[in-house]
Amino acid sequence: MGKRLLLFLLFAIWMPSAWNKLYRGPITRRVKVSMRSWGGLHTNTGSNMGGWLIRITNADGGFACCGAYFSPLLVITSANCMEPFRWNLAGATADGTALTDAEIDNYAQIDIVYVPDEFVPGNTNMDIALLKLRKPIRGRLTEFIKLCNTLPESGIFYNTYAWGYSSFVVQPPSSNPRTSIVPFQNREECEKKFKPGFLSNTVLCVTQPKDRHECLYDGGSPLTYKNELCGIASIGSTCQNTSTPGIYTSILGVKKYLLKMDKELKSGALSRRKRYIRENSAQREKNNGI
């Protein structure tokens, strides 16, 4: 009996994720976000890095963007990444990357994409999008991520996550998400690498890895510090040239918008905004002869 207990304890030490991250039931609309919040990489569920990491697919089922699960019906990603198919979401889904062997429905169809009024495609200002889902992503390993409360400063090292679809010329994308460590880069150093005016006030810069094979920069790639979501990959950098800083939308810079939208969803105000967006979408298709 003593040997069995020792083996059990060793297994629990080496495989903490198997015990700590399996929640009692699936996510519902009424689940308390605070009860299913990610605790950091040391509590991950294995190769998926965390139950909050989302893979966004387009209508053809191919990879589109990375995302971060924020609340039962909302996923955070890059507005620039979503722009090519924002108005045609038929078949587009948000897929949970943490699932048990028995789960086959750990995904949700995307209902609509919300972006800030200030966002202009191709620019870095307010490059953030909220995906409203038709239903929660149900998985028993699925969880949410907290929004950043930590001010960026020299000496901070972030983790970024991606599959590597933005760097086909460097290496093939992986079947499982990967993570890489990147240090914060101050604004003055970052601005030297881009044309004047390109960096907006909502940008957060990091230093890319010298080895291109360690670079992870898919559209919407999350950037975390400890157990907080601090950035979402924007535009302006690729893994072909890692001497260029990685450009992320600072979650602190757009946090007020994200919290406002979450509040509107809970109050029902977001449904009224959805009708307005869809009316504009229909008018756009009519003008384009679609």
Residue 82 amino acid letter: M
pLDDT in tens, the chain (290 residues): 444 333 333 333 333 333 447 888 889 999 999 999 999 988 866 777 889 999 999 988 899 999 999 999 999 999 999 999 898 899 999 999 887 777 778 899 999 999 999 999 999 999 999 999 999 998 888 999 999 999 999 999 999 999 988 766 667 888 889 999 999 999 999 999 999 999 999 999 999 998 888 888 999 999 999 999 999 999 987 788 889 999 999 999 999 999 999 999 999 888 766 655 655 655 555 565 55
pLDDT value at residue 245: 95
- 3-state per-residue secondary structure call for 175-215: CCCEEEEEEECCHHHHHCCCCCCCCCCCEEEECCCCCHHHC
Mean of pLDDT over the chain: 86
Q: Helix (H, G, I), strand (E, B), or coil: what is residue 117?
A: coil
Q: Are 204 and 223 in contact (CB under 8 A)?
A: yes
Report CA-CA distances (Å) from 123 to 154, 189, 192, 206, 253: 25, 20, 17, 18, 15
- Give the predicted TM-score (pTM) of the model: 0.88
Domain ranges (residues) in the chain: 146-253
Inter-axis angle of helices 251-267 and 269-287, nearest 10: 100
Q: Where are the beta strands (DSSP E) in the chain?
A: 53-57, 63-71, 74-77, 93-96, 107-114, 129-133, 146-147, 157-162, 178-183, 203-206, 222-225, 228-233, 246-250
pLDDT value at residue 271: 74
- Distance CA(232)–CA(276), nearest Å, equals 26
Alpha carbon 4 to chain centroid distance? 41
Structure tokens at 228: 């907080």
- Distance CA(155)–CA(171), nearest Å, equals 30
- Distance CA(122)–CA(87), nearest Å, equals 17
146-253 CATH fold: Thrombin, subunit H (2.40.10)
pLDDT value at residue 268: 87
pLDDT value at residue 276: 57
Contacts of 191 (CB under 8 A, 6+ apart): 199
Q: Helix (H, G, I), strand (E, B), or coil: what is residue 146?
A: strand
- Distance CA(12)–CA(19), nearest Å, equals 7
Encode pLDDT of 100-126 as tens digits. 777 778 899 999 999 999 999 999 999
Encode pLDDT of 184-220 as tens digits. 999 999 999 999 999 999 999 999 998 888 888 999 9
pLDDT value at residue 2: 44
